[in-house]
Amino acid sequence: MERVPVLKIGDILLVSIQVDMQDQTALALQEDLADRIVATGCHGVIIDITALDIVDSFVGRMLSSIAAISRVLDAETVVVGMRPAVAITLVELGLSLDGIRTALNVERGMELLAQSRADEPDLGLDLGLDLADLDSFGPTATP
């Protein structure tokens, strides 16, 4: 069984699919990618499908599944390098690729992910306290 390499570039994992996606290859890719997202803490995944001449419903579902897994693990997915014939086929098959953003090439995909991260609100709490100020609250009771 062929494996699809997953490369880390900064805060992004790059997957370049250069092989025919059989069931076992797709399942291995899903597991490998999920493991790498958790291990690296990356927040972006780029899937380069430039080498794919044809896409069937299986590959479309596989892309959607990878995007869903990545999203649950706090990573956004961008598919890049989609050929016009592939886009037409996906539409004709009724596959909308929900939750997946697209870009023309890897460079634009990286820009899209960087912009997306910059646009996210900062959910960290800043109470304006220095840790030294916590002493002024007095001792805390412990059960």
Find the CATH number of the domain harbouring 65: 3.30.750.24
Is residue 64 in a domain? yes
Is residue 136 in a domain? no
Enter the pTM of the model: 0.79
Is residue 70 in a domain? yes
In DSSP notation, 36-89 reads HHHHH---EEEEE-TT-S---HHHHHHHHHHHHHHHHTT-EEEEE---HHHHHH
Is it the case that residue 135 has pLDDT exceeding 60? no
H/E element, 95: none
C-alpha span between 86 and 92 (Å, rounded): 10
Is residue 77 in a domain? yes
Q: How many domains does the structure of the chain reveal? A: 1
Residue 79: count other Cβ atoms within 10 Å of its Cβ: 22
- The separation between the first and the last C-alpha atoms of the chain, rounded to the nearest angstrom, is 57
Is residue 125 in a domain? no
Is residue 91 in a domain? yes
Tokens of 127: 């109470």
pLDDT tens digits, 41-84: 999 999 999 998 888 888 888 899 999 999 999 999 999 999 99
C-alpha span between 45 and 35 (Å, rounded): 13
Q: Are the C-beta atoms of residues 48 and 27 closer than 8 Å to each other?
A: no
Is residue 17 in a domain? yes
As to burial, measured by CB atoms within 10 angstroms (0-12 exposed, 13-18 middle, 19+ buried), residue 72 is exposed
User: Can you give the pLDDT at residue 31?
Assistant: 93
Is residue 104 in a domain? yes
DSSP state of 28: H
The residue range of the domain holding 42 is 6-119
pLDDT tens digits, 6-51: 999 999 999 999 888 888 888 899 999 999 999 999 999 999 999 9
